Chains A and B, each alone.
Chain A
Amino acid sequence: MSNHPLGGSHNAASFGSPIVTETASDMRIAPVVPAKVLLVDDEPDILPEYQELLELHGLCALTEADPETALEKVLECPDIAVVVTDMRMAKLNGAELIEAVRARLSKGRKVEFIVLTGDSTYCATIIDPDIPVFLKPVDFDALVGAVKVALAGAQ
C-alpha cells in the first residue's frame, strides 16, 4: 500500500482505495474505468458521498481532504485527468490549487478542473472562464456530465 501511487496520504489509504474496490464489486452494470478523477474538499464527511455517487455513475474517483496533498497526488499520478475541487479551504484554496497544479504540471500532460463552491458570491471567471463552476448543493447530474466532458477533453 505504501508504494501505491495513490496511497501516499492517510486519507487516500483509508477512504479511497477500499471504497473504490468495494463499490466496483457492487456495480455490475458500469465498467470500472481507471481512476482519473480527484475530488478535493477540506470537509472530510462529504468525500465518501461524492466518491460513491461518481462510482455509481461509472466514474473512478479519488478523494483528498488536504489540498496540499492533493497537489502532490495530481503531480505524481498521471492517471488523474480531472480535478474537482472545493474553493474555500484553509491551507490552500481552490484557485491556488489550480494555479499550483498548472504551474508544476509536466509538459504534454493535461488536467481539466471543475470547481465546487458554497459561496454564492464567488466569481469563477477570475481564475479561468473555461473552468466550470458548480454551486453547492451540487446538481450532481450536471456535475457528472461536466466530469465526463472534461475527461473527454483531457484525453
Chain B
Amino acid sequence: MNPPTRFSLPSFTSREILIAILLGAAGFGLNMLELQLGWGMHFVFGNALVFAFLRTQRPTTLVAAASISSARTIFLWNHPWAWSVWTLEAATLSYFIRKSTPIRVDILFWLLAGVPMLIATYGGIMGMDHLSLWLVIAKQMTNGVLNVALGELVYFAFLSVQAARGPVQLRRMPIEAFVMMILMSIILIPTTVYLALDAPTREAGARGTVARSLDDELQLTNASMTMWQESRSQMIAALVSERRDLIGIAHAPVPTNLRREFEQIVAFDPSGRPLWSMGDKGSGPANFPSSGNLLTGSEARIVELSASATSGNNRIALLVPAYMSGKHTYALATMRPDTLKRIIIQPGHPAPDGLLLLSPSSHYRIIRPASESIIDHLRSMPAHIREGALEDAVLLSRTGYGNAVMSDLRDALMVRAIRIKSLPGWEAIAVARLSGEVLKARQGQSSLFMALSVFVVLITIAGTFLARRIETSLRELAQSAADLAMAGTGRGQIDRLVISELSDISINIATVGSLVARERGALVSYQRRLRSIAAHSPVLVYAFEVIDDRLGQLVYISDAVEKILGYTAAEAAQPEWWSNAIHPEDRDHFRAAYSDLHPGKIVRVEYRFRHKQGHYVWVYDSCAIEVDPLHGNSEAVGLILDISERKQAAEQLLQADKMASLGRMVAGVAHELNQPLNFIKMASLNLQERTKRELFDVKRFAAKLDDIISHVGRASAIILQMRVFGRKPTEEPYPVEVKQSVDAVLTMIRNQFFADGVRVEAEDCDPNVTVRALPVLLEQVLLNLLLNANDAIRARQAGANKQDGWIRIGVKRHGRKAEIVVEDNGTGIKEEVLPVLFEPFFTTKPPKEGTGLGLSISYGIVRDLGGTLRAENTGTGARFIMDLPLCA
C-alpha cells in the first residue's frame, strides 16, 4: 500500500547550482597549478577548496563541485579513474561530515574504497605495473588526505576571521577535527614541500648519470675513430708510395694487414685518374669507384661513396692524400661494411642502449645495436632536438600522454650527440633508456609514499585517541566545574583531569561558578521577596533619577500605583504626571520638600494626590536620595502610603482628644465654677436672710451685689474659654499672636494650677511673635503641654520631692521660626520614653487619667501647621519646644 518509491535525481536550488559551479571552477583552476614531485608525479589541490566548504554546503552541492574540480585530472592523466575516485571521496566526506571528523572519514574512505578502486582501475584496467601502482595509490591517498587537511585549514581560517569580526555564525570545529587537522598538516605539508623542492635535483641527478655514460661512450668512439684513421692513413700512404709498380697491372690483392678492414684500395692522381687498384673484386677501371669531387684537401678523412646499384646503403671509404715518386696522389680505401662497428672500442661499463653514426648525408649507421623502436624514434627525431643533443643530453619520450609522463617516463630515452673530429660532417649519437634510473627513483618514491601513508594512518589512529582524550578532558572539565558550581563539592571529578591547566581552570571555574550561583540564588530570592513585598503591600514604591539635585525621569514604580491611585504604571511613567496630580494647595510645599536633593537627604512630605477617578487621596511620601554605586548617579527611592484613613482618624482623634482634655478639665472647671457659684449662693442667702429679718443695710447690700456680679463675671469668663472644645477646626489658619493664646490658656488654668500650688510664669513672652494658625488649635496644644506639666509636677510632689511647682512659658523669635517653650520642674521624661513620646496612645499616666493621645495630637497639629514639636529633659524637669513658621 506504500506509494512506489521513485528514484529521483538530487534536486538543486539555483543558488546551489551557482555555488557548485563557482566552487568547481575555482577548484579546477587551482588544479592547474599542480605541484611537481619529480618523475612525472603531481599533487593537485583543487579539491582542498571544495573540502573547505564541507560544513557549510549540502552534500549534493559539494559532490557537484568536486566532480567539476576533479575533471582536470581527466585532461592531466588521460583517464577518468582519478576523477571518479576523488568525486566519490567528496561524496563520502560530505555525507559523513556530521558524524565524524573529515580526516578520519577520509582515511577510512581511502582504506575501504579508494585503494580497492585504484587497484581495480590503474592496476586492472590500465595494467600498471606493481611498483607504479602502489606508488600511485600511496600518492593519491596522500594527496587526498592533504587536500582534506588543507580544506580544514582554510575553514579554520574562515572561522578565525569571523571570530575576529564578531560572533561566530559558522559551524564550530570540534576539538578532534582541530587536532587531526594540526597533526596532518604537520606531517604532510612539510613532506610535500620537501619533495617538491628535492624532486628536480634528484631527477636532474639521475638524468646526469645517464648523460655522463652517453658522453663517455661518445668520447671513446671519437678517440678510437681518430686513432684508427691516423694509423690506417699512414699505412695506406706508405702503400701508395711504395707500389708504383702496380701501375698498369690489372689486379692485385689488398695486403693482408689491411684486408680485414678494406675491400678495395685505389690510387688516383690529383686529376682523378686512377693509377692502380687493389682488391677482391678486380682492379680494373670498371671497378674504380667514382672519385667524384672527393679528391681534395690534404687531410686523411672518411668519405661517403655515392650509392651503388648493388647496395642500398652508401659505402664509406678512407681518403688518404699520399705521394708517389714525389707527385701528389690520393688513395681511396673502401671500407668493409662492418669495419666501423669493429674499430669503435667497446666500453668497460654498461654501454648505452645504442650508438649510431650519422653521416653528412643524414644516413644513420648503427654501431651498437639498438631496438627497432629506438631507431625509429631517432629517425623521427626533429632536427632541432638533435642539434640540442650536441650541446647536452636530451630526453625523448616515445609515447605522449600530454603532460603526463608519469607512466611513460620509463620508456623515455636520453640522447646525446657529438661531432667526430676525424670524420668532418659525421656525428656520433648515443642513446640510453631512462628506465633504470626511473625505476630506482620510483622505488625511493614508492617507499617514501608508502611510509607516509602508513604514518598518516597511524597518526590518524593516534590522533583520534589523543583528540578523544582531550575532548573527554574538556567535557569532564566543564562537567566537573558545573557539578562543583551546583553542589559545591565533587573535587573527585576535577582530580581526574590529567592536564594541570585543565585542572586549574576547572577549579577556577568551579569556584567562580559556585560564587555566582550563590550570589545569584541570593539575588533571586531577594528579588522575589522584594517583588512580593511590592505586590502585596499597600505601599507604592518608586524610584526617580536625580539630575542636578532635582527630580528627573521616573525609573521604577510598583504596580501598587493602580491600587492606591488608580493609574497604571505606564500612565505614571508619563512626564509631569506627578506634579499635575498633586492638589494645587499642596504643590508649594511638595516642591519645597523636593528641592536640593543632595545624596543622603531624606524627604518626608504629606500631600493630596488626585486619584484617577477624580477624588483626592492623602498620601505620605517618604524617600531617600541614594547614589547608585554602579553608575554613580543619584536616585530618589521612596514609598508612598495612602494615609487618607489616618488623616480622617487623626481628625477624629483630635476631637476625641478634645473630649479627653475636657474630661480632664471637668474636675478643675467644676471647682473653678463652684467657687463663684458658692460665693454667689452664700451672698444671696445672706441677702435673703437679712431681707427676711428686715435687716436692711443699703451700703452692705450694694457691696454684696457688686461682689455677686463680679463672681458671675468670673464664672462667665471660665465658661467662655470652654467654648473651644466644642468646635471642629475647619477654618483656614490666619495670623495669630502667640502671646494671646498663651494668655487665653492661662485664664483657663491659672486658678486651678494655683490651687494645685503650681506657679505659672509667662513673663518671657514676646507679644510680637505671630504665626499662621488657628487659635483653638494653638491653645489646645498649649493647654495639653500645660496640663501635662502640671500632672508631672503633681506626680513629683506625690513622691518624696514636695518642692513648689512652677511652669515657665516662653515665646520668642528664633531665626525664621517662632519658638514656644513650656518648661516645668516636674518628674521629667524617662530616657526610654523619649523616642515614643509622640506616638498615639502612649501614656505614662494611670488608666482613666489619660488617653495617651494628647502629645500625639499636639504633634500632629504642630506638624500640620508646618512646625515641629520636641521634648527634652532639663535636669530639673521637662522642656517642650514648639517651632512654628513665623507669619511673614
Which residues of chain A have a CB within 8 Å of any CB of chain B?
26, 29, 43, 45-46, 49-50, 52-53, 56, 88-91, 116, 118-121, 135-138, 140
Contact = CB atoms under 8 A, between A and B. Distances in A.
Contact of B679 (A45, A88, A119): A45
B674 A137 contact: yes
B690 interface: yes
Contacts of B678: 46, 116, 118, 136-138
B757 A90 contact: yes
Best-buried of A29, A88, A135, A136 by chain B (most CB within 10 Å) = A136
Interface of B: 667, 670-675, 677-683, 685-686, 689-690, 693, 695, 707, 711, 754-757
8 contacts: A29-B693, A45-B679, A45-B707, A52-B686, A56-B686, A118-B675, A119-B667, A136-B681
B667 A56 contact: no
B682 A26 contact: no
B671 to A, nearest CB: 4
A111 to B, nearest CB: 23
A88 B675 CA distance: 11
B682 A121 contact: no
Given A45-B707, A88-B671, A56 B682 contact: no
Contacts, number: 69
Contact of B686 (A53, A91, A120): A53
Given A90-B755, A137-B677, A119 B671 contact: yes
Contact of B754 (A26, A90, A116, A140): A90
Given A121-B667, A137-B674, A137-B678, A56 B689 contact: yes
Contacts of B711: 45
A154 to B, nearest CB: 24
A87 B708 CA distance: 23
Contacts of A119: 667, 670-671, 674
A136 B675 contact: yes
Cβ-closest 9 pairs across A and B = A118-B674, A49-B682, A137-B681, A136-B678, A136-B674, A118-B671, A137-B678, A137-B677, A56-B689
Contacts of B685: 49, 53, 140
A138 B686 CA distance: 13
Contacts of B682: 46, 49-50, 53, 137-138, 140
Contacts of B707: 45
A49 B676 CA distance: 12
A138 B679 CA distance: 9
A116 B695 CA distance: 28
B669 to A, nearest CB: 10
B679 A118 contact: no
A14 B754 CA distance: 25
A66 to B, nearest CB: 14
Given A46-B682, A136-B678, 8 more contacts: A45-B679, A50-B682, A56-B690, A90-B757, A118-B672, A121-B667, A137-B681, A140-B685
Contacts of B689: 53, 56
A7 B674 CA distance: 30
A137 B673 CA distance: 10
Contacts of A29: 693
Contacts of A135: 674
Nearest to A28: B693
Nearest to A45: B679
Nearest to B679: A46
B711 to A, nearest CB: 8
Contact of A120 (B670, B690, B693): B670
B670 A137 contact: no
Best-buried of A26, A45, A91, A121 by chain B (most CB within 10 Å) = A45
A52 B677 CA distance: 17
Nearest to B700: A52
B681 A138 contact: yes
Nearest to B804: A90
Contacts of A137: 674, 677-678, 680-682
Contacts of B695: 26
B645 to A, nearest CB: 36
A52 B671 CA distance: 23
A45 to B, nearest CB: 6
Contacts of B680: 137
A11 B316 CA distance: 198
Nearest to A49: B682
A49 B683 contact: yes
A89 B674 CA distance: 14
A26 B683 CA distance: 18
B695 to A, nearest CB: 6
A135 B686 CA distance: 18
A43 B670 contact: no
Contact of A49 (B670, B675, B679): B679
Contacts of A46: 675, 678-679, 682
A89 B670 CA distance: 15
A56 B695 CA distance: 11
B689 to A, nearest CB: 5
Nearest to B754: A90
